[in-house]
Amino acid sequence: QVHLEESGGGVVQPGGSLRLSCTASGFIFRRHGMHWVRQAPGKGLEWVAFIKYDGSIKYYADSVKGRFTVSRDDSENALYLQMNSLRTEDTAVYYCAKDYGVFGTGGAFLDYWGQGTLVIVSS
Amino acid sequence: QSVLTQPPSASGTPGQRVTISCSGSSSNIAKNNVYWYQQLPGTAPKLLIQKNDQRPSGVPDRISGSKSGTSASLAIGGLRSEDEADYYCAAWDDSLSGPVFGGGTKLTVL
């Protein structure tokens, strides 16, 4: 049974940093790309970042490019999102999601999602 | 503003059939598969339709998806109270090198 669990959310001041984690179980983590998707309070879903199964390709939304970095540790079955230079508009629930493709290069096929972790950027 | 366009709301009475549209462009829906996600209140999104018209295991056959050109649609027949949720379409965008989502449609069962 696939399980994804995010952690690391909290309250941070504008300009600050935060590192989110996502631990995965129930599937062969190293064979799948992983996504971060966020949802601002009362708003829709916004894709944030993707990392290929082997970490060789990373894609970012324009809104976070240059500020956020996605990474993974296959030995720990873990996905990370390092968020720097945070802005108030980054306030959201951040979800990690598994990409369906085995050894894939990314897509919109997100077959499992975690429950999310809330990040609040406020002074 | 979302890359994919959905109506913000839809509604129907129990037993009715409701359709939600999703409009995109040549860089996303026209060239790539469309996916639909259901988000029940207070929960994480869940995959509802994969690859335009395929239902994952456990999704009832009263729910269906279709795609034509730069548009897609989600149909829910035999509407039930538990269908009240937000629905999002998504597709890979070749120009943006990432998946794009619609703004979401809030479905109300009257």
What's the per-residue H, E or C state across chain B?
A: CCCEECCCEEEECCCCCEEEEEECCCCCCCCCCEEEEEECCCCCCEEEEECCCECCCCCCCCEEEEEECCEEEEEECCCCHHHCEEEEEEEEECCCCEEEEECCEEEEEC
Shortest distance between the Cα of B41 and any Cα of chain A, in A, equals 11
Q: What is the pLDDT of residues B58-80, one digit of tens each?
A: 999 999 999 999 999 999 999 99
pLDDT tens-digit readout, B10-30:
999 999 999 999 999 999 999
pLDDT at residue B1, rounded to an integer: 83
List the single best residue of A35, A45, A105, A118 to mutate versus B (max B Cβ within 10 A). Answer: A45
Q: What is the mean pLDDT of residues B2-13?
A: 96
Per the CB < 8 A criterion, the answer to whether A99 and A59 are in contact is no
Residue A103 predicted with pLDDT over 90: no
Residue A104 in tokens: 């894939």
| Interface with A, mutate which of B31, B35, B40, B105 (most A CBs under 10 A) | B35
Which residues in chain A are contacts of B88 at CB distance < 8 A?
44-45
Place of tokens 């050894």: A103
Share the mean pLDDT of chain B.
96
Average pLDDT over residues A78-107: 94
CB contact under 8 A, A47 and B51: no
Structure tokens at B52: 């335009």
CA atoms of B20 and B109, how far apart (whole Å):
14
Sign of the alpha-carbon dihedral angle for B16, B58, B50, A53: positive
Residue A102 predicted with pLDDT over 90: no
Which of B23, B16, B12, B31 is CA-nearest to residue B102? B23
Q: Which residue of A has its CA nearest to B38?
A: A45
